[in-house]
Structure formats: C-alpha cells, structure tokens
C-alpha cells in the first residue's frame, strides 16, 4: 500500500515522514583520533544541516562513526514540528546518557530546531546534554565543544539574518552517491499559525546564487546525477548580485542549475502555493532535466480552516494554481502536505480536504493529524478542540483517499515508458534495480544489460500499486 523504499523525504509515509529518525550513514576512519556519531530527525533540511555539521567537525579532527559506543561526541539534530519528534529525541537522549555513563568524557549535544526551543530544559532542568546549538550557530560548535570538555555547558541558539553556510562544503555522509541536497536559503517569513519554523529557524535569507551553482557543478563532477534545492519556501528565493545589482529569482536559479549539465536532474522542495510563479512553471516545462514534480502543500481543503492556518490563500485560489500547473506542464506530478483535525475543523470541512485530494490528483501526500506546538499563533489563539480519536479517524480517511488516488495515477502509467534514474538495488531483491521518474515515482525493474547505479535508463511500466511502479528496461 505504501512506498517500501524510504528516502530522506519519505521515511514512513504511513505515520509521519517528517518525524522519523535516521542515522546518517557513517564511516569509521582511523585517521581521526576523535569520533562523532550523529542522528537526524525531521525534514530534509535537517539532514542537509547534519552534513554541514559533519564538515565543520572534520576540520576539527573528528571522524564519523557508526558505533555510538566509540564516539567521543554524540549529536542529535532535532525537529520541533510535531510532538512525537520531541518524544523520540528525549528517548534517544536517555540512551546516549547510558553510553556516557559507560564512557565518561563523552559529550552529548542537541542541534537544530528543538535545541532552540527547549534549551533551558535540556541543559539545566533535565541535564540531558552538554551542548545545545541552534540551526544558525553550527560554526560555533568547536568553541562549545572545547568549553564542554572543560566542564561548561555550552549553548548558542542565536538566530541570524545573514548565515547561509554558503562557504561550507557539506560532507555527504548519508548519500547514495546519486542524489544530494543543496540548501539554497534558510528561515521562513510565512507565519502559518500551526508552524514553529519561523521561531526556530528565523527570517528568510537567500544564498549566493553562484555558490549554489558551483556546489551543483562540484556534485556532478563527483558523479552525482540529481540535486534537490532545499528551502522552507524555495519560491521566495531572491538574491541580489552585490556587483551588478541584478536580482536572481527562483526561476532564474532553476535555469542556472539546470545549465550545469543536461544529465544533472534538478528537484526542489518546498513550494508555497502563494509564491510559485508562472516563470518557475515555464522553467520546468522548458528544461528536460528540471523534474516534472512539484510539492505544493495545501494543508486543508476548506477556506475557513486555511484562514485560521494563515495560509494566505483560499480553496478557490489553490484550485486555480493547480489548474495552472497542469495547463503549463500537463505531465507534472503534484504532491501535498495535509493536516487533519486542525482547531475547530468540522466534518464537512474535513470532507472538503478529501475532495481537494481527488481534484488535485496528488501522486502522494504527507499526511498528519494536528499537533499543537507551544509558542505558535494557533497555540495562543485557538483551542485544540478536536478529540484525538477524531483526528486519527480523519487521518485514516485521508490516507485511504490518497491511496486510491495514487493507485489510479499509477495505473494510468501502465504501458508508458519513462526515463528513470537508477538509485541502486531494490530493497526486496538484489536482482532488481530501483529508480525514480521525473515525476518522483519509484520504479522497480529487473537488472538487464550493463546498467549501474547512477545511469539513466528507459523503463516501460507493466504494473503499479499505490506506492510504486514495476516495469522492464525498454532499450
């Protein structure tokens, strides 16, 4: 029923893909006298940040390890989007402290969004960690580690209006060697009432466009075939060249990266419906290597609820945006985020969300029930008045409808041939490859010929479930 091939974007769609934890793939290197171990939770931006942290630590003489028992420094990069993520991180911190008791001197640090929100509790009240570092303070890690080694508890959660880490080359520890993330901007200026991101990651600032293109070129030169441009709201990317005063928009940036090489696929995440422009859509249409896939979170299908969420659009406007995408890019795939049981949501309003899934023909959705986050506008102004059992039932109904829509979409692909980027072996069988189409659909197909991971191959689809396609190599 669901995609059984997890990625950083979709670790377990059944529960909540943005809340699952994943140990970034580590490597043991005896050339380093000190070792660090890191786990990441949350969105793709957190995994990208962990690669930046790894690069900073490598310059300080730390090599990564898969075994936390060998680590001198244990880090967890956290998420505050939903309550479950914080509960999971606390459980992990208890395990890390057991390791520390066996190996005195081991330092434990919390990074990222949860670090910023719960710094006092983690450091002073619960004494679970030695170091707390917010998402804009990773450069300060060496200083904080040094202080912690002397017995101090180090904290830096200051937010920045300038930090983009543009000059740091991420250490691609968790990569499959085919796909990589490139962070193009940080922070968010949208104040969605349910979201903590503006408070934990600060205001929007865009990274130097030339440094982004240079990173993409370097990745391609290393053999990578796909990059995902990351930001809380990539469509609001805007960078002014200090020399020429020329402004680079997100549409401009997409084209600049696409021109690195025709064999370098470009993806991006996430879009805000209010900001995605026709120019972006034309760029996707006109460049074959810009993937025909847009993640366009709707959150709710009802205009009243959308107003409470402060999404700045209503249902009619969103429908028109979806129509415009399909008008300009007929073969585009659209995915979404959906929140069930937001404050005061009625049964009829919930049914409108079911209808927007069908109308928009989402190929997949990331689906959650509402989890109130302290400090947000919703927590201050609205009562979280939908019972948990109702939230779960509504979520189950959303999953059921999305599964049916995904299945219907995949059935329409039977008999069609798609250009697929091979990501590696299928999880179920080493005799099969897995890869993705431009539309971000997973395809499983038998190994034939001399193809290998990182190659493009044409695959004809023979069958499909709601989560994946199966086919055979066409050429």
Summarised one tens digit per residue, pLDDT across range 96-138 is 989 999 998 999 999 887 776 677 676 665 578 899 898 888 9
List residues bridging with 436 in a β-sheet.
421, 442
| 215-227 pLDDT tens trace | 999 999 999 999 9
Mean pLDDT of 159-177: 83
pLDDT score for 2: 25
Closest CA to 22 of 62, 50, 64, 2: 50
Mean pLDDT of 271-280: 96
Question: Among 84-93, 230-239, 405-414, which is the least confidently predicted range?
Answer: 84-93
Instruction: Output Rg (C-alpha) for the chain, integer angstroms.
Output: 22
How far apart (Å, rounded) are the C-alpha atoms in residues 180 and 226?
Answer: 6
Peptide bond connecting 270 to the previous residue in cis, omega within 30 degrees of 0: yes
pLDDT score for 29: 54
Mean pLDDT of 251-271: 97
How far apart (Å, rounded) are the C-alpha atoms in residues 247 and 24?
Answer: 36
pLDDT score for 90: 79
How far apart (Å, rounded) are the C-alpha atoms in residues 153 and 131?
Answer: 6
- Phi first, then psi: give them for residue 35, nearest 5 degrees: -125, 145
pLDDT score for 174: 64
pLDDT band at 33; cut points 50, 70, 90: confident
**CB burial class (10 A; 0-12, 13-18, 19+) of residue 219?**
buried
Residue 441 has pLDDT above 70, yes or no: yes
Q: Which two tokens stand for residue 66?
A: 């898969």
How far apart (Å, rounded) are the C-alpha atoms in residues 229 and 315?
Answer: 27
Closest CA to 69 of 118, 133, 26, 19: 26
pLDDT score for 47: 84
Higher pLDDT, 11 or 396: 396
pLDDT band at 14; cut points 50, 70, 90: very low
Residue 300 has pLDDT above 50, yes or no: yes
Closest CA to 145 of 111, 99, 122: 111
Mean pLDDT of 91-96: 88
Residue 23 has pLDDT above 50, yes or no: no
The residues near 240 (Cβ < 8 Å, ≥ 6 apart) are 246, 247, 248
Domains of the chain: 21-156 (3.40.50.12160), 179-409 (3.80.30.20), 417-473 (2.40.50.140)
In the three-class reduction of DSSP (H, G, I as helix; E, B as strand; rest coil), residue 78 is classed as: strand
| 178-226 pLDDT tens trace | 999 999 999 999 999 999 888 888 899 999 999 999 999 999 999 999 9
- Phi first, then psi: give them for residue 11, nearest 5 degrees: -85, -35
């Amino acid at each position: 029923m669901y995609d059984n091939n997890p990625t950083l974007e979709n670790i377990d769609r059944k529960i909540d893909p943005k809340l699952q934890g994943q140990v970034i793939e580590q490597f043991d290197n005896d050339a380093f006298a000190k070792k660090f171990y890191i786990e990441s939770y949350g969105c793709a931006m957190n995994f990208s940040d962990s690669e930046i942290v790894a690069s900073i630590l490598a310059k300080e003489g730390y090599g990564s390890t898969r075994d936390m028992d060998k680590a001198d420094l244990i880090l967890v990069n956290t998420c505050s989007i939903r309550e479950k993520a914080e509960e999971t991180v606390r459980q992990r911190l208890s395990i890390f402290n057991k390791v520390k008791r066996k190996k005195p001197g081991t330092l434990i640090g919390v990074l990222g969004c949860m670090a910023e929100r719960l710094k006092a509790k983690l450091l002073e009240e619960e004494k679970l960690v030695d170091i707390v570092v917010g998402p804009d303070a990773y450069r300060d890690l060496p200083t904080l580690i040094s202080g912690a080694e002397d017995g101090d508890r180090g904290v830096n959660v200051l937010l920045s209006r300038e930090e983009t880490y543009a000059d740091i080359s991420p250490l691609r520890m968790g990569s499959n060697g085919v796909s990589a993330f490139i962070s193009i901007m940080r922070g968010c200026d949208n104040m969605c009432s349910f979201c903590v991101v503006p408070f934990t990651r600060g205001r929007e600032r865009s990274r130097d466009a030339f440094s982004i293109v240079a990173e993409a070129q370097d990745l391609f030169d290393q053999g990578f075939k796909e990059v995902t441009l990351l930001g809380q709201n990539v469509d609001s990317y805007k960078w002014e060249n200090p020399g020429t005063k020329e402004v680079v928009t997100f549409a401009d940036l997409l084209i600049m990266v696409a021109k690195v090489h025709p064999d370098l696929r470009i993806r991006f995440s996430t879009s805000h419906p209010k900001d995605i422009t026709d120019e972006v859509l034309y760029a996707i249409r006109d460049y074959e290597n810009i993937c025909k896939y847009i993640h366009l979170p709707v959150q709710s299908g009802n205009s009243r609820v959308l107003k409470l969420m402060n999404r700045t659009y209503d249902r009619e406007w969103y429908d028109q945006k979806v129509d415009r995408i399909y008008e300009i890019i007929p073969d585009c795939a659209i995915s979404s985020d959906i929140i069930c049981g937001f404050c005061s949501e009625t049964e009829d309003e919930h049914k409108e969300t079911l209808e927007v899934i069908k109308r928009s023909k989402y190929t997949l959705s990331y689906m959650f029930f509402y989890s109130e986050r302290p400090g947000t506008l919703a927590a201050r102004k609205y009562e979280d008045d939908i019972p948990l059992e109702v939230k779960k039932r509504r979520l189950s109904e959303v999953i059921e409808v999305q599964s049916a829509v995904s299945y219907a979409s995949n059935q329409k692909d039977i008999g069609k041939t798609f250009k697929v980027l091979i990501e590696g072996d299928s999880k179920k069988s080493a005799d099969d490859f897995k890869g993705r189409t431009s539309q971000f659909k997973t395809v499983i197909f038998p190994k034939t010929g001399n193809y290998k991971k990182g190659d493009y191959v044409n695959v004809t689809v023979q069958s499909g479930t709601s989560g994946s396609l199966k086919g055979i190599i066409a050429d």
